[in-house]
């Protein structure tokens, strides 16, 4: 079994340590299709064992991009900031100067009428700000889940070896699975492991696809550490991913009132007037509007009906407070959780979020700028 790779996640298989990555029971060795971890994910939707280190992820990405002619960097439109951690610049810049294309995934979640071009333009601008000096050879918004025209996209990549890289959970393996499906039957026994747990892919897997005359490398996802999910256990992190169209809720929020985003964050209107707000978040989160004092209490008490994560994760979160003024045409974003836009006038907000989560004000991601 020496140097045998799990086709689901790319880890080197071993039968010596059941707790270490790549474990396959001895009696299954040789016949096992995937490692025990992939097996548990695929059949029981459970995650077991330790994750490989971030250093090992970096090594895998360096190895894959150095072998490839092109890098496809996958981003999640729902969390642009969490898709581009500024300290990845050195890693993303390929040694041989191979071109980099940006794919903005999960566009099936966009509210109706939002144009994909808007998202493409937005993420290309953010790219320039976060990775100055690293140019993009193209950007395209798509949905690994629902894309109907992958073949057209792949035509222009014919003849290339391509490394798929990006943050954990943006949908790299899902995109690969979509392409494999389109390629035809020869890979029906094998497919990359996909799950809502961050860190599903643990090493490099290689996929020659004769129909499209391309060879793809899937790689482990990077963990920026600044997304809300990065502070949670794998199950809770996955449960915060939006699965259907985003929840978009409008409120006339009076002064001294607040909106709670589950029991994970609170946004207080500290201006002297009411403001029309729009919140974009995953459909699974309870959004609750109440007065200032009640909001404080609820965020502290974290009642079951508001609860978004397990009690253990919730206890470990340390809260911090920041203040922002948000103008029409801007969003107040909380990485991995969603964002709030204001409609009629600039408004001051006080925000309580778990320390370590990136928050800030940006030009509106969706809607007129
Ligand atoms: N709505 C939607 N969900 C998607 C899409 N692509 C992937 N997902 C979901 O995103 C989650 C992560 O998908 P993966 O393909 O495992 O992501 P990954 O980038 O390979 O993650 P790692 O292997 O952990 O780095 C899963 O719950 C997928 O179902 C998409 O186009 N739309
Ligand atoms: Mg993956
Ligand atoms: Zn595996
Ligand atoms: Zn948890």
Q: Which atom of ligand 1 is nearest to the CA of 193?
A: 16
Give the ligand at the shortest distance from the Cα of 9: 3
pTM of the entire predicted model = 0.96
Give the ligand at the shortest distance from the Cα of 82: 1
pLDDT per residue, tens digit, the chain (369 aa), is: 567 899 999 999 999 998 889 999 887 766 657 999 999 999 999 988 778 899 999 999 999 999 999 999 999 999 999 999 999 999 988 777 899 999 999 999 998 889 999 999 999 999 999 999 999 999 999 999 988 778 788 888 999 999 999 999 999 999 999 999 888 755 555 789 999 999 999 999 999 999 899 999 999 999 999 999 999 999 999 999 999 999 999 999 999 999 999 999 999 999 999 999 999 999 999 999 999 999 999 999 999 999 999 999 999 999 999 999 999 999 999 999 999 999 989 999 999 999 999 999 999 999 765
The rounded Å distance from CA 239 to ligand 4 centre is: 9
Pocket of ligand 1 (CB under 6 A): 105-106, 108-109, 143-145, 168-174, 194-196, 198-201, 220-221, 241, 243
CATH 3.40.50.300 occupies which residues in the chain?
Answer: 54-224
Name the DSSP letter for residue 311: H
Q: Which residues, in sequence order, are CB contacts of 262 under 8 Å at separation 6+?
A: 285, 286, 287, 306, 307, 308, 309
Lay out the sheet containing 275-281: strands in order across: 247-253, 275-281, 338-342, 330-334, 359-363
Question: 3-state DSSP call for residue 10?
Answer: coil
> Which of 231, 236, 235, 255 is closest to 319 using CA atoms?
231
Q: In this predicted structure, what is the pLDDT of residue 186?
A: 59
CB 278 within 8 A of CB 343: yes
Q: Atom 6 (ligand 1): residue with closest C-alpha?
A: 171
Q: Which of 110, 166, 171, 196 to mutate to test the pocket of ligand 1 (most atoms within 8 A of CB)?
A: 171
Q: In this predicted structure, what is the pLDDT of residue 150?
A: 81
CB 269 within 8 A of CB 255: yes
Q: Which atom of ligand 1 is nearest to the CA of 143?
A: 31
The rounded Å distance from CA 168 to ligand 1 centre is: 8
CB 257 within 8 A of CB 330: no
The rounded Å distance from CA 272 to ligand 2 centre is: 47
Tokens 């939707």: give the residue.
45
What DSSP string runs through 112-157?
Answer: TT--HHHHHHHHHHHHHHHSTT---S-EEE--TTT-S-HHHHHHTT
Domain with residues 54-224, CATH architecture: 3-Layer(aba) Sandwich (3.40)
Q: Which two tokens stand for residue 40?
A: 């548990």
The rounded Å distance from CA 195 to ligand 1 centre is: 7
Q: Which two tokens stand for residue 56?
A: 């090992």
Q: Which two tokens stand for residue 39?
A: 């097996």
> Which of 271, 279, 364, 359 is closest to 321 using CA atoms?
359
Q: Which of 35, 119, 194, 234 to mutate to test the pocket of ligand 1 (most atoms within 8 A of CB)?
A: 194
- The span from the CA of 24 to the CA of 129, in Å, is 44
The rounded Å distance from CA 257 to ligand 1 centre is: 36
Counting beta carbons within 10 angstroms of the beta carbon of residue 171, is it exposed (0 to 12), middle (13 to 18) or buried (19 or more)?
buried
Give the ligand at the shortest distance from the Cα of 35: 3
- The span from the CA of 6 to the CA of 4, in Å, is 7
Calculate the dihedral angle through the C-alpha atoms of 174, 314, 53, 104, rounding to the nearest 10 degrees: 30
The rounded Å distance from CA 320 to ligand 3 centre is: 37
Give the ligand at the shortest distance from the Cα of 13: 3
Q: Atom 7 (ligand 1): residue with closest C-alpha?
A: 171
Name the DSSP letter for residue 221: P
Q: Which two tokens stand for residue 67?
A: 């072998």
Name the DSSP letter for residue 5: B
Q: Residues 240-263, buried b or exposed e (16+ Cβ, 10 A)? A: bbbeeebbeeebebeeebbbbbbb
Counting beta carbons within 10 angstroms of the beta carbon of residue 90, is it exposed (0 to 12), middle (13 to 18) or buried (19 or more)?
exposed
Q: Residues 277-315, buried b or exposed e (16+ Cβ, 10 A)? A: bbbbbbeebeebbeebeebbebbeebeeebebbeeebbe
CB 270 within 8 A of CB 348: yes
């Amino acid at each position: 079994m020496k140097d045998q790779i799990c086709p689901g996640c790319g880890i080197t298989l071993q039968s010596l340590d059941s707790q270490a990555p790549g474990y396959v029971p001895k009696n299954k060795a040789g016949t096992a299709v995937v490692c025990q971890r992939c097996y548990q994910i695929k059949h029981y939707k459970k995650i077991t064992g330790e994750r490989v280190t971030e250093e090992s992820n970096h090594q895998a990405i360096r190895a894959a991009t150095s072998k490839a002619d092109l890098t496809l960097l996958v981003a999640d439109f729902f969390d642009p900031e969490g898709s581009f951690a500024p300290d990845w610049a050195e890693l993303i810049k390929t040694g041989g100067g191979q071109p980099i294309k940006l794919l903005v995934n999960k566009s099936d979640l966009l509210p109706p009428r939002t144009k994909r071009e808007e998202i493409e333009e937005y993420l290309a601008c953010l790219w320039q700000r976060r990775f100055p000096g690293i140019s993009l050879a193209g950007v395209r918004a798509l949905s690994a889940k629902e894309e109907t025209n992958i073949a057209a996209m792949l035509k222009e990549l014919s003849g290339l070896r391509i490394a798929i890289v990006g943050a954990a959970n943006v949908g790299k393996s899902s995109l690969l699975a979509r392409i494999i499906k389109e390629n035809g039957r020869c890979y029906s026994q094998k497919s990359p492991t996909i799950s809502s747990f961050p860190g599903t892919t643990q090493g490099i897997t290689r996929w020659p696809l004769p129909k499209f005359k391309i060879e793809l490398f899937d790689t482990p996802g990077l963990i920026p550490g600044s997304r809300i999910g990065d502070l949670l256990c794998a199950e809770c992190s996955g449960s915060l991913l939006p699965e259907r169209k985003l929840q978009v809720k409008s409120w006339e929020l009076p002064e001294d009132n607040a909106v709670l985003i589950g029991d994970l964050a609170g946004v207080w209107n500290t201006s002297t007037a009411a403001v029309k707000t729009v919140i974009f978040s995953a459909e699974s989160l309870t959004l609750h509007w109440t007065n200032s004092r009640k909001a404080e209490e609820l965020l502290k008490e974290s009642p079951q009906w508001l609860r978004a994560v397990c009690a253990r994760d919730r206890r470990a979160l340390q809260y911090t407070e920041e203040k922002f003024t948000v103008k029409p045409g801007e969003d107040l974003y909380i990485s991995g959780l969603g964002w709030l836009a204001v409609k009629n006038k600039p408004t001051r907000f006080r925000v309580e979020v778990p320390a370590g989560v990136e928050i800030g004000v940006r030009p509106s991601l969706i809607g007129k700028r």
